[in-house]
Amino acid sequence: MTQTEAFHGSKIVILDFGSQYTQVIARRIRECQVYSQILPFDTKAAEIAKAGARGVILSGGPASVYGKRAPHSDPALFELGVPVLGICYGVQLMAHQLGGKVEHSERREYGASELRADAGCDLFRGLPDKFDVWNSHADKLTKLPNGFRSVGKTDNSDFAAIEQPEKRLYGLQFHPEVAHTPRGKEILQNFLYHICGCKTDWTMGSFIDQTCEEIRRQAGEDHVVLGLSGGVDSSVAAALLHKAIGDQLTCIFVNNGLLRAREADTVRKVFGENFHMKLKYVEASARFLKRLKGVRDPERKRKIIGAEFVKVFEKAARELRKKGKTRFRYLAQGTLYPDVIESVSISGNPSALIKSHHNVGGLPKRMKFKLIEPLRQLFKDEVRQVGSQLGLPHEIVFRQPFPGPGLAVRILGEVTPGRLRILRDADEIVLSEMKASEWYYRVWQSFAVLLPVRSVGVMGDERTYENTIALRVVESQDGMTADWVRLPYDVLARIASRVINEVKGVNRVCYDVSSKPPSTIEWE
Ligand code: XMP
């Protein structure tokens, strides 16, 4: 479902030239309660007009406007009559396409500088005449196109900000979207509210209302099935669909035996008992464990779990159909916006990277369902806001990510019931101590890993020869890169001591101090 078109409100289109900050621009705009949509750099002007954009932003990017394969925008864009703001590569491109001059510079300008801003420019309304801005560019604008004037200078550039007010074309050589430009948000707000005339109508309340209407319209009398994992995305998708179509939604929750302690109970309680959703609970632990017997290779584990999940899910959907004569026409998924942005394949664009091994839990196309993806417009923080507004408990809405293949990728080597028990017990202690110390919600992930090594220890008067638990606590923005968290020693000490004393079969705890890259967050 492309609800992108369905949002009735002010909209800004961001053309993506491959900057690592494109998504940051989109999020900043949404924080200003204006809907933003990222489109490929070569989107036709007519299409942008048809999408009803009130303004267009040209993102930065790694290319040089003179480069052989430099991405260009449709020149008709500057004749649409819609305000355009070019940022970094975006302003260079705008100037280049309109007859100005950009020169290659060997010296990269990187970091903070002071902008002397012209208060007469609408972008700088309400701002002081000098403030800090953050730069990251090599090429430099040296001659303005006809009709443009400079409205901001730095020591390094006479054209750090430019405008053509009649045509409402603006450009900034620096990055207003990053936190290092402290007044950047106000510049963006000036562009949105004063130049483009946008209203602040992108709120999660309006999203919920509009999306519910859209889901009702799309589903009609038909039934929808959703694979509920208990993670943030599928949980919020379930709550939203339930609000929209009530009993026309059935959730299938598969217990694959690789879940954390009490996870299955929590999901049943929250969704079955509190929300009164139609929830089919499938106990498939034995089946998964049987298939995983003797398997040590991480990729094979993931493949087996993925394939088994599809079979179990299909069988459950078939049984529901037979029993209740419910034919599911739609499959709902909690896909988010970062997964659907059509990334441009310009080198250096991290959003173009594909997490190939993260597709476990996905359902194959042959299942012949039509898709409903009610969250595909949203960033993660927006999904959390929607979840809270729909009344999901804090524990679910703000929980850390948990991989589809579950504890299996945190048990190095073979997955056995005994090893699952050890890891589950250790994981529960890690979780409770992280929560008690108030670190849980401050980090990206915190979990235990069971290593396939045993070492010697001493407990009381006895020599032990037991397992080792590795503790992994990382901070990250999106899971693509991560750093280990400098947890206070007393928190580390408490976790280690409790795991060794309370979990039978463990006599050693190590802390993982590797960052990603080159390590990954999960150990398998
Ligand atoms: P890695 O280990 O690649 O993990 O650094 C990055 C993030 O992705 C999560 N992850 C998964 N999530 N299915 C998921 O839904 C998976 O198969 C999967 N594998 C890893 C991981 O927990 C981390 O947040």
Residue 477 CB less than 6 A away from ligand 1:
no
Our answer to whether residue 88 is catalytic in this structure is yes
243 plus 104 within the same structural domain: no
Strand order, beta sheet including 249-255: 278-283, 249-255, 223-227, 328-332, 370-372
Contact 134, 127 (CB under 8 A): no
Given 96, 121, 163, 177, the catalytic residue: 177
> How far apart are alpha carbons 287 and 267 in whole angstroms?
21
Residue ranges of alpha helices (H) inside 247-297 are: 263-267, 285-292
Residue 516 counted as domain residue? no
**Catalytic site residue from 175, 223, 242, 357:** 175
Number of domains in the chain: 3
Q: What is the pLDDT of residue 278?
A: 96
Is 510 among the residues known to form the active site?
no
Q: Is the peptide bond before 83 cis (omega within 30 degrees of 0)?
A: no
pLDDT, residue 7, reads 81
- b/e for 316-343, b at 16 or more Cβ within 10 A? bbeebeeeeebebbbbbbbbbbbeebeb
Q: What is the pLDDT along the chain (524 residues), one digit of tens a residue?
A: 444 456 889 999 999 999 989 999 999 999 999 999 999 999 999 999 999 999 999 999 999 998 888 999 999 999 999 999 999 999 999 999 999 999 987 777 889 999 999 999 999 999 999 999 999 888 989 999 999 999 999 998 999 999 999 999 999 999 999 999 999 999 999 999 999 999 999 999 999 999 999 999 999 999 999 999 999 999 999 999 999 999 999 999 999 999 999 999 999 999 999 999 999 999 999 999 999 999 999 999 999 999 999 999 999 999 998 887 788 999 999 999 998 887 555 544 444 333 344 544 566 667 778 999 999 999 999 999 999 999 999 999 999 999 999 999 999 999 999 999 999 999 999 999 999 999 999 999 999 999 999 999 998 899 999 999 999 999 998 899 999 999 999 999 999 999 999 999 999 999 999 999 999 999 99
Confirm whether 403 is domain-assigned: no
Can you tell me the distance from the alpha carbon of 347 to that of 186, in angstroms, rounded to the nearest whole number?
Answer: 31
Q: Is 358 in the pocket of ligand 1 (CB under 6 A)?
A: yes
Q: Which atom of ligand 1 is nearest to the CA of 476?
A: 24
Active-site residue, 414 included: no
CA distance 502 to 426: 8
Q: How far is CA 66 from CA 79, 102, 145, 431, in A?
A: 23, 8, 16, 53
Smallest Cα–Cα separation from 443: which of 484, 409, 481?
484
Enclosing domain of residue 478: 410-511
Q: Are residues 393 and 433 in the same domain?
A: no
Sequence length of the chain is: 524
Question: Do 334 and 463 fall within a single domain?
Answer: no
DSSP string, 362-380: ---GGG-PEEE-TTTT--H
Give Cα 345 distance to the centre of its chain. Answer: 19
Indicate if 50 and 118 belong to the same structural domain. yes
Q: How far away, in angstroms, is 487 Cα from ligand 1 center? A: 22
What residue's CA is closest to ligand 1, atom 23?
479
303 touches ligand 1 (CB under 6 Å): no
Distance (Å, rounded) from C-alpha 193 to C-alpha 128?
19
Specify whether 502 is located in the same domain as 388.
no
Are 110 and 140 within one domain?
Answer: yes
* Residue 524 belongs to some domain of the structure: no
Task: Provide the 8-state DSSP code for 360.
Answer: T
User: Looking at 397, 431, 458, which one is the last position of a domain?
Assistant: 397
Query: Does 222 reside within a domain?
Result: yes
At residue 116, the pLDDT reads: 98
In a domain, 402, yes or no: no
Instruction: Specify the pLDDT at position 228.
Output: 97
Q: How far apart are CA 108 and CA 396, in angstroms?
A: 45
Domain CATH for 453? 3.30.300.10
Last residue of a domain, one of 177, 195, 213: 195
Report the pLDDT value the prediction gives residue 325, as an integer from 0 to 100.
74
Q: How many helices (H) and strands (E) does the chain have?
A: 14, 20
Would you report the helix, strand and coil content of the chain in percent, each value rounded to 5? 35, 25, 40
- Verify that 28 and 112 share a domain, yes or no: yes
One domain, residues 63 and 153:
yes
As a three-state string, the secondary structure of 427-490 is HHHHHHHHHHCCCHHHCCEEEEEEEEEEEEEEECCEEEEEEEEEEEEEECCCCCCEEECCCCHH
522 is a domain residue: no
- Do 392 and 356 fall within a single domain? yes
Let me know whether 64 and 154 are in one domain.
yes
Same domain? 28 vs 135: yes
Residue 404 lies inside a defined structural domain of this protein = no
233 lines ligand 1 (CB under 6 A): no
Q: In angstroms, what is the span from residue 401 Cα to ligand 1's centroid?
A: 8
Task: Report the CATH number that the domain containing residue 18 is assigned in CATH.
Answer: 3.40.50.880
Identify the pLDDT of residue 2.
43
Query: Domain for residue 25, yes or no?
Result: yes
CATH number of the domain within which 289 lies: 3.40.50.620
Q: Cα(486)–Cα(515) distance, rounded to whole angstroms? A: 12
Domain end point (choices 339, 363, 397): 397
The reply to whether 472 and 379 lie within a common domain is no
